[in-house]
Chains A and B, each alone.
Chain A
């Protein structure tokens, strides 16, 4: 599903080049549930953004579903994200004062063709995360856990191959955390590829595989 070969990422915001990722080589199979762990500043989010085609590596090869991603232009990457990738973020990033349903439908606006059954699809994914009775609620009227569930539903609307979750439980209480991890677990059982980025070992333990980032290098610490 995802193949990364010798990926490097360097930031040159100041005169000093700061390597964030160094010689990352990894491979993730379809249907895997992988956690990327690391302390804050270890580059785990950067790695996720690169794997999720939101950012480009400075060097290296990246293949997604057998397609070389490294050489793609911005528009092609956008289309790819739209079709094949779903994102869930720590801050939820829902549009405020916008209904749960409209938030969920957001990716469809940027799809090549707006599906005729958009509304049904939106309701269906909201039901999948247990929010069938919150469809018309505004984002800011929902609790944190509910907002994150809307975000997951939004990630699901285009039936993506991979879901990337960046500290999805970082802003949630323990009960909501459990709910979200439960939903991600279900999605994995349905056969989706899930990549979760976290600093929290108990969260990472829900995954089949744990990759740890340290000083820009990767170490496999749990492999079934």
Chain B
């Protein structure tokens, strides 16, 4: 049995003599580590959700809208702002590199759609075939809009899953005729199921028609409501954004010093938008974790200092019978390590429990990760050393005769 093992056994034995003190120290650590673990889990959960959103929308997607309301995730809705035209798309394709595809989009919301005696309000998108690839929004059944449909301004449409449910229930919609704004359209396909967007919009409540049909047979809107672009190389995204902006300013004859009359939404904006709710929670938890770890450290330090004062004669007698300073130091450091290890484990499970509760109550996305566990264990080890070493040194360096005085 080596000396260190003997001393470790003494640490454990003395801790067993003073369970309440040990419990208080562990509790301090546990609270700190619990909030740390929870913070890590929540930020990991939020990160994954954001990345999921970005990947769903496309990390290579640029959206351009008329007007300047940049931060909005909602449709700008401001019909008065008219700036984008189809020539802008051609100009972008012609002058900007690194573009995989670009498509003009026109849309209007809350348009009346009728099938026999059923009625619904939905959003109508006028698009071109490449739009399906750009938005990864192809047909689930049937076929997407073709170049021929564009040329002939065909009254063909694809319906989203919500529209299908509202108008047809269990019926097979393909081949049937619906009336959009009182104009008859033939359904040639169903759109894929997409769910709710990061802005909380139902992405399945829509009907897609050829952009030419949109302009000639439904609404006489000459201006675009969106241009959507995908880039080839996402690493060059920032340069591409700059180039697109230059081309558009040029097209719109905006002199330098004047603001843009269009707004671009990039994957980064999407990240910012999607982080929104979780970010404040993460900040809060980070704050709590930092404060409570500090408090835990101070608790440990003070309880250890108090216990050293109370255990003066224990330290004195150990020194008198031959304990070296280093032996006393080790005894107290091991005590601190054990306390923070078990307190840390306690806190880790508490934090993981909190993570499960938070995500099951849908307060925020939260995910238990090995990183969170590693961080928690590392932190409490660090706390034990940082806050334990001062009292332990103090204990070890006491003059033995002072500790043996009455």
Contacts and interface: CB of A to CB of B under 8 A. Distances in A.
Contacts of B17: 95-98
A128 interface: no
Interface in A58-103: 74-75, 78-79, 81-83, 87, 89-91, 93-98, 102
Contact of B322 (A95, A102, A111, A114): A111
A123 interface: no
B73 interface: no
A91 B324 CA distance: 22
B317 A106 contact: yes
A165 B117 CA distance: 109
A93 B317 contact: yes
A89 B321 CA distance: 12
B404 A89 contact: yes
A114 B320 contact: no
A210 B117 CA distance: 122
B171 to A, nearest CB: 82
Contacts, number: 74
Contacts of B196: none
Interface string B295-333: 000000000000000000110111111111111000000
A79 B406 contact: no
A54 B7 contact: no
Interface secondary structure of B, over-half rule: helix
Q: B7, B320, B323, B399 — which one has the most chain A CB atoms within 10 A of its CB? A: B320
A202 B64 CA distance: 105
Q: B14, B318, B326, B327 — which one has the most chain A CB atoms within 10 A of its CB? A: B318
B324 A110 contact: yes
Interface residues of A, number: 30
Contact of A55 (B3, B326, B399): B399
Interface in B6-28: 6-7, 10, 13-14, 17
Contacts of B129: none
B321 A91 contact: no
A154 interface: yes
Nearest to B323: A110
A52 B152 CA distance: 111
Q: B3, B6, B317, B321 — which one has the most chain A CB atoms within 10 A of its CB? A: B321
B401 A106 contact: no
B361 interface: no
A91 to B, nearest CB: 6
Contacts of A93: 313, 316-317, 320, 404
A83 B313 contact: no
Given A54-B320, A54-B401, A110-B323, A91 B6 contact: no
B324 A154 contact: no
Contacts of A95: 14, 17, 314, 317
B271 to A, nearest CB: 59
Contacts of B400: 54-55
Contacts of A31: none
A105 to B, nearest CB: 10
Contacts of B324: 74-75, 78-79, 110
Contact of A106 (B3, B321, B404, B406): B321
Nearest to B316: A93
A107 interface: yes
A21 to B, nearest CB: 13
Interface in B225-253: none
A42 to B, nearest CB: 15
Interface string A91-135: 101111110001000110111001000000000000000000000
Given A46-B401, A96-B17, 7 more contacts: A55-B399, A78-B319, A93-B317, A93-B404, A98-B13, A98-B17, A110-B323
Closest 9 CB pairs of A and B: A82-B322, A107-B321, A110-B322, A93-B317, A78-B324, A109-B6, A110-B323, A87-B320, A49-B401
24 contacts: A54-B319, A54-B320, A54-B404, A74-B325, A75-B326, A78-B322, A78-B323, A78-B324, A81-B321, A89-B317, A89-B320, A91-B406, A93-B316, A95-B14, A95-B314, A97-B17, A98-B13, A106-B318, A107-B322, A109-B3, A110-B3, A110-B318, A110-B321, A154-B321
